[in-house]
Structure 1
Amino acid sequence: MKLKLLTWDVKDTLLRLRLPVGQQYQAEAKSRGLQVDSAALDSSFRQVYSNHWRLFPNYGLSQGMTSHRWWLDVVSQTFRLSGIQDEKILQSLSERLYQDFCTDRYWEVLPGAREALKGCEELGLRMAVISNFDRRLEDILRHVDLDGHFDFVLTSESAGVAKPDLGIFHKALKLGAVSPQCAAHIGDDFVKDYKAAREAGMFSLLLQNRLRKDIPSDHVIQSLDQLIPRLREVME
């Protein structure tokens, strides 16, 4: 296979949160003298995020929202469900967390990611990002010093559609000026990354720490240190 472009998912593929959301929200609240249970915040966040993405998919862009407004609503509702009702405090907390989450204060590079990116460059591959993230992603990648590896960063906010919609993959292929047969994608989600990329005509690998019965074993890598050997096999 003549691979020219490798696209990456980001969250839980290249980057992960340093701490669970509940602990990070709790620390910000504590800095303001507020006591909130981190487990309650975690539970509230999962509930609010899921409902908000269902009601206002892809940051509500098609409904006239901005990703900034979308996130402020998610964060403030998370704290409300966890017992904080003061609107002035909620507004301040939400804005601070929105700003801080685009820095390396809350994100860290996954083990093996830097080595995998360097190895891909040594294979002569161009690289890019396809992520269901908002406009802060480029800032995050810059803060963790990964931005220099990518020709472009395509977020669902900038694309106007989110994975697994094939439109975001088609946009990436157009930006990369390659045919699907010359492109591959790697990510940790079976539907949004592995399956969707293949439906777009690309090769794809699934990053998971266990093998699955529903896909070939050589389509799964259990850690990033397996990526370069697998790509060499594919490119032979």
Structure 2
Amino acid sequence: MPAAAAAAARGPLLHLRRTPPPPPPRRSFSSSGMRCVSAAAGAGGGGRERRSSPAFGGLLLDAGGTLLQLARPVAQTYASLGRRYGMSKSEESIKEGFKRAFSAPWPKTLRYQGDGRPFWRIVVAEATECTNNDYFEEVYEYYAHGDAWRLPAGAYETLRDLKDAGVKLAVVSNFDTRLRKLLKDLHVSDMFDAIVVSSEVGHEKPAPEIFKRALDQIGVEASKAVHVGDDETADKAGANAIGLECWLWGQDVRTFSEIQDRILTRFPQ
């Protein structure tokens, strides 16, 4: 600790008539411990200052698959909820059906219009071969609550520290109207300076409009922000198209601590 180092440097007072040595460097830290200022006074007052400063002024985050992780696999949830409705497909078959339905071309402009029910109804039916409306509603409501989701390790702490460092934060997500409630349930909604949801703004990634909307709301230029998402096309290609750097979750960055380390970098002032 800087204070401890300073204390250790002070030995017993000797009553000698000599010029005292220059004072030790003074250091101050923010609450995050990441931003520090260190100044050393030279004999001629020509000390240099090093300041920790964010490498980016804004961070945009994808929601599903990046900031929001499933508490348990989709196939497991679909199977367990489906037993009461006579659905007996294996989890492996459900998993394959889900992937097939989710990746199929969508004929409309947006997958998620309003609450997203039309899209999700097709996905659930394709994955499970169960068209019981009560079953669908139970599945849909299950994912409308924070208990169905979790934050990656260190996400909350990273968001807090980046915010303390002055980095503007935004969610940019292809999602339906359940997203805002989910972020509140997981206690991160208030962390963000902007939450931009495709079903609300009428554009979904990789369309440039959704990224531009987020940047406008946080007041940061594309060249001074970075986006983190898990999709090569929707996230990386979409962001890069407007000059916005993108780190793919699971490839370029694997933890929120790594995101924090890459944004909060030190350089000479």
Runs (5+) with no aligned partner, structure 1: 210-219
Identity score, percent: 25
Q: What is the CA deviation profile of residues 94-141 of structure 1, one whole-angstrom value per residue up to 9, with x for unaligned ones?
A: 111111101123211111211211121121112110011111111111
Q: Which position in structure 2 is the counterpart of 1:222?
A: 254
Say if 2:112 and 2:176, in contact at 8 Å, map to a contact too.
no
Q: Quick one: distance in 2 between partners of 1:54 and 1:17? A: 23
Q: How many angstroms does 1:185 deviate by?
A: 1.4
Q: How many angstroms does 1:231 deviate by?
A: 0.6
Task: Give matches, 1:140-219, under 5 Å.
Answer: 140-209=182-251
Say if 2:169 and 2:193, in contact at 8 Å, map to a contact too.
yes
TM norm structure 2: 0.71
Q: Which position in structure 1 is the counterpart of 2:29?
A: none
Say if 2:112 and 2:199, in contact at 8 Å, map to a contact too.
no
Runs (5+) with no aligned partner, structure 2: 1-53
Q: Quick one: distance in 1 between partners of 2:195 and 2:176? A: 11
Q: Quick one: distance in 2 between partners of 1:201 and 1:146? A: 27
* Residues 1:70 and 2:119 aligned together: yes
Q: Which position in structure 1 is the counterpart of 2:18?
A: none
Say if 1:207 and 1:224, in contact at 8 Å, map to a contact too.
no
Say if 1:126 and 1:150, in contact at 8 Å, map to a contact too.
yes
TM norm structure 1: 0.80
CA RMSD of aligned residues (A): 2.4
Q: Quick one: distance in 2 between partners of 1:204 and 1:146? A: 22
Q: Which position in structure 2 is the counterpart of 1:15?
A: 68
Say if 1:72 and 1:94, in contact at 8 Å, map to a contact too.
yes
Q: What is the CA deviation profile of residues 122-165 of structure 1, one whole-angstrom value per residue up to 9, with x for unaligned ones?
A: 21112110011111111111111111111221112122122111
Change (3 A) 1:73 1:235: farther
Q: Which position in structure 1 is the counterpart of 2:8?
A: none
Aligned residues between the structures: 215
Q: How many angstroms does 1:23 deviate by?
A: 0.6
Q: Which position in structure 1 is the counterpart of 2:80?
A: 27
Q: How many angstroms does 1:2 deviate by?
A: 6.9
Structure having the higher helix fraction is 1
